Structure 1
Amino acid sequence: MQLTLLKGGQLVVEGQLLTADLAIVNERILGYGADLAPPPEFNQFDTVDVSGLTILPGLVDVHVHLREPGAEHKEDFLSGTRAALAGCVTTVFGMPNTTPTITTRTSLDQAIVLADEKAVCDFGLYVGGTQDNADEAASLSDAVGLKLYIGSSTGDLLVDQFEAQIAHFMATPLDRIIAVHAEDEAAVRHYAKQGQRRPPICAKLSTAYLLTLAEQTGRHLHICHVTTRDELTLIRQAKERGVRVTCEVSPHHLWLNTQDEQRLGPYGRCNPPLRDEPDRTGLWEHLDGVDLIATDHAPHTRAEKESGTPPAGIPGLETMLPLLLTAVTEGRMSLADVVSFTATRPAHLFNLPDKGSIRPNKHADLTLVDLNETWTLSDDGLETRCGWTPFAGMDVTGRVKQVWLRGQCVYREGSVVAEPGYGQRVQQGQAG
């Protein structure tokens, strides 16, 4: 067995900041404590001085578009998971709107093989719903969840017919999450004819409808990328009625608004769109009603973004944590909030017992950051294949120094050091 001691760091444990040493044996956390001594059975061990650094759990991002198979010029399992590690994300969930889509046993198996060969962080994959695959999708227990597109977005996974929607809700096992892109397709098309791009009513109509489906069927509905305070109000009211619903917000909707979209041009185009300032600030004011923060990392090349028909999508894996740590510095949230939104709750909701917190026997997935270092986000040096971020030029406080995944240092001082294939598919269920 291999023992590693991380000495002198500050650990975020159970919402508290502790100065303690951390012991790792093989892939897992053995324990932590002040002036921790190695157990007597270990004659040899490695010691790493992490004084001055704060140690958080590795982040779990449940909403990532890795683009493989079919659009590897934008991203693939290697570049996307390298970007994840550079952003302290040690577990990603890949979305199924690929080419071909991940909607069958065969396509899921093919995607798993690709990810097994290339991924440098741990991963899970969603199965996508179609108009006619409810039973097969429900049978794919090795998918981390079902993804439904009630409104159209990148790809062709639109499920806009009630018969198909209710079939998926009824077929999906009670213990599986149904993650939904919640925009009403009829409203999207109606307003497009009037020259309006996906106004807030599209999301509100869909959210209200989906909450009714979840209430009637008893399924666990997870609403992706919420963008308005009205959606959060509907979700809060549903939770109070006992509806099994959770939701996420994305960093670009927390930090950017419609004025930023005008400034950024096609680089600020996303689905759902950036909202006006009252809705952006409303997300911050009602964060207590949000369950997760997830990137919706959706890379496109510069050439695509600058074309006559720019696709919707914003990359975010490498910028989420710096933005959130800056919010901590500014007093808008606590370190405990960051850990809860990006690690503990995602791991709990998606039943990942090995992930999400610093506890004995958990995977040693760790983020080591300097909370005091101020630096400037830039397009230069990004791991994501698209090579740009809408946050370029923004000053942030808090910088990653090391990332550990299952007991191994996989990112150190600006470089990913994990080899392709080190990432493993996550196991939902009981801890190992």
Structure 2
Amino acid sequence: MPARAGRARVSGDTVFRGATAVLPGGPVLADVVVGGGVVTAVAAPGTLSADEVVDVRDRILLPGAVDVHVHFRQPGFEHKEDFRTGSAAAACGGVTTVCDMPNTHPPVSSAERFRAKRDLVEGTSHVDHGLWAGGTDLPELAAMAGLGAVGVKVYLNRSHRADDPYADELSMPDAGTLSTLFRACASWALPVAVHVADHDQEVRLRARLRAASTTDARLVSRSYRGDGVLDALARVLAAAAGTGCRVHIAHASLAPVAALDRIDAARRAGVRVTAECGPPALLEDDLDRLGVLGVPFAFPAGDAEAYWSALADGRVDLVATDHAPHTRQDKAAGLDDVWAAPPGYPGVETVLPLMVDAVLAGRLSWSRLAELTSAAPARLCGLGGKGAITPGADADLVVVDPAATTTVDAARLHSRAGWSPFDGRRLAGAVTATYLRGRAIARDGELLPGPPAGRFLTPEGRARP
């Protein structure tokens, strides 16, 4: 960064003055100038000027978070969420880009359905958004790649309940089909995100645990982390080896902790594999209070510490929420039988506050936070211009007050679900403002007036159809 000199005027609409900006090279005190929706300059504080000055002294300036694993439920499950409400939650939590999964109704398994979903949500999202493709039909997947899919989502699991949004057409029938799909996606330069599971072993484990109790939500969470997941992971990594495909392990925390080292070993052996998890911020003891509202991402204390360590040391590459909103009525199915409730909870509005809290607790550095929540997810999905504060990048910025505190209040959150397992949680730090391409879209947890400005994103180098 240049040394301080006389204040220079640069081309730009706004200068964010005096923040600790978390840049690709690390946090520095800086002025960040924005013009035309992009970052135009970064320099020592007090050296740049523009038409408008935003005083962000004593604040942290982060790149907008990129959540590559959300379920905004549209089309087909709008009673749970849609892009308008889900993206409002994202904006208010400091997430400026989301990538939505294909397990909707109907599932996004054809070019026609991909195009229909893209057009359906156009003009309704408050943040930028990409779409994952699903299914196993290679010609349809190739067509969806041409329409701008950010990747292909593969499901090795199956439904356990009638209301599970996992249509058979999204499920992988056998290892041979998986290997063929990996080779095809490598040729299209698309990542494949995998929900790793061994359905038959999971069914048997669930039956044993259900026989032990129908009221202990801990057992439901544990049912997703049986040894069958490790067997399935081994098959996925073996199928990926030698294909050149970028394989991404979705919600790695839905596997035994041993999976972390197995993924890392495959990476060191040359497999192009990455892994995600959400903040491991719920413990099994919390389920005494939450019940099924905390399923499935609640952990024994030792496992939670292992996931935090993996986020810090790089064995987990990025943070993604698996934002999975359900209504209270949906979850109430588990009041008498915890196995009857759908898994998942809303997380897109609380993910960055939870991660900021982790930084201020000493678990992570600001640079590692920016890598996990912004740079790495943007790289995974090929979203050029996202994930970093650097000249030429989109001016997606988040202002954090490290001296403030946040108390999660479910009544103020914006997901249609209307609840959060983190309700009442007191966190260090506060997300105070979110900017999308230089325009303020949320402040102090509230959406600002104005029409939704989110754009449909395609991987870098692929034109919007």
TM bin, normalised by shorter chain, reads: over 0.9
Shift of 1:420: 4.2
Tell me the distance in 1 between the aligned counterparts of 2:25 and 2:429: 18
Report the AA paired with residue 83 of structure 2: F
Partner of 1:108: 114
For 2:401 and 2:298, how far apart are their aligned partners in 1?
Answer: 31
Q: Distance in 1 between matches of 2:181 and 2:16?
A: 47
Tell me how far 1:282 sits from its aligned partner.
1.6
* In 2, Cα distance between equivalents of 1:334 and 1:279: 21
Give the superposition deviation at 1:208: 1.2
> Which letter maps to 1:96?
P
> What is the aligned counterpart of 2:38 among 28, 31, 42?
28
How far 1:216 moved relative to its partner?
4.0
Residue 414 of structure 1: how far off its partner (Å): 2.6
Q: How many residues align?
A: 421
How far apart, in 2, do the equivalents of 1:127 and 1:36 lie? Answer: 46
Q: Check the 8 A contact 1:116/1:421 in 2, yes or no.
A: no
Q: Which digits, 9 at most, give the CA deviation of each residue in 1:185-222, with x for residues without a partner?
A: 12112222323533431321211110101104231110
Match of 1:151 in 2: 157
Paired letter, 1:32: V
Partner residue in 2 for 1:195: 209
- Residue type at the aligned position of 1:162: A
In structure 2, do the counterparts of structure 1 residues 220 and 36 end up closer, same or farther at CA, with 3 Å as the change threshold? same
- 1:284 equivalent in alignment to 2:284: no
TM-align CA RMSD? 1.9
Query: Quick one: distance in 2 between partners of 1:232 and 1:418?
Result: 43
Aligned equivalent of 1:352, options 377, 383, 391: 383
Q: CA deviation at 1:370?
A: 0.4
Contact 1:160-1:185 within 8 A present in 2 as well: no
Q: Give the direction of change, closer, same or farther, for the CA distance of 1:420–1:168 in structure 2 (3 Å limit).
A: farther
Please name the residue that 2:237 is paired with. 211
CA–CA distance in structure 2, aligned partners of residues 179 and 417 of structure 1: 34
Q: Distance in 2 between matches of 1:182 and 1:89?
A: 26
**What is the rounded CA distance, in whole Å, between the counterparts of 2:126 and 2:25 in structure 1?**
28
- Which deviates more from structure 2 when the two are superposed, residues 101-110 or residues 9-18? 9-18
TM-score normalised by L of structure 1: 0.93
Deviation digits for residues 218-244 of structure 1, max 9, x if unmatched?
A: 311100111232111100110111001
AA at the equivalent of 1:14: P
Q: Which residue of 2 aligns with 1:71?
A: 77
The counterpart of 1:37, out of the listed 48, 63, 77, is 48
**Does the CA-based 8 Å contact 2:318-2:372 persist in structure 1?**
yes
> SS of 2:48's equivalent?
coil
> Which string of whole-angstrom CA distances, capped at 9 and with x for unpartnered residues, describes residues 117-176 of structure 1?
20110000001124xx13311332210000011112531232243343233223223421
Superposition pairs of residues 29-428 of structure 1, within 5 angstroms:
29-33=39-43, 34-38=45-49, 45-130=51-136, 133-141=137-145, 142-152=148-158, 154-155=164-165, 156=167, 157-174=170-187, 175-195=189-209, 197-227=223-253, 228-251=256-279, 254-270=280-296, 274-287=298-311, 288=313, 289-308=315-334, 309-417=340-448, 419-428=450-459
Query: Offset at 1:285?
Result: 2.6
After TM superposition, the structure 1 stretch with the greater mean CA deviation from structure 2, 290-299 or 26-35, is 26-35
Residues 63 and 92, structure 1, Cα contact 8 Å, conserved in 2: yes
CA–CA separation in structure 2 for the residues paired with 1:24 and 1:136: 40
Aligned mates of 1:199, 1:182 — CA distance in 2: 10
Provide the identity percentage.
Answer: 36
**Which segment drifts farther, 146-155 or 52-61?**
146-155
Residue deviations 1:228-264 (CA, integer Å, cap 9, x gap): 321111001101110010000112xx12233333431
Give the Å deviation of 1:401: 1.2
Give the whole-Å Cα distance in 1 for the aligned partners of 2:272 and 2:397: 30
Structure 2: 5+ residue runs without aligned partners?
Answer: 1-10, 211-222, 335-339
Scaled by the length of structure 2, the TM-score of the pair is 0.86
**Would you identify which runs of 4 or more consecutive aligned residues in structure 1 move more than 4 Å?**
none
Sort the Cα spacing of 1:137 and 1:419 in 2 relative to 1 into closer, same or farther, 3 A. farther
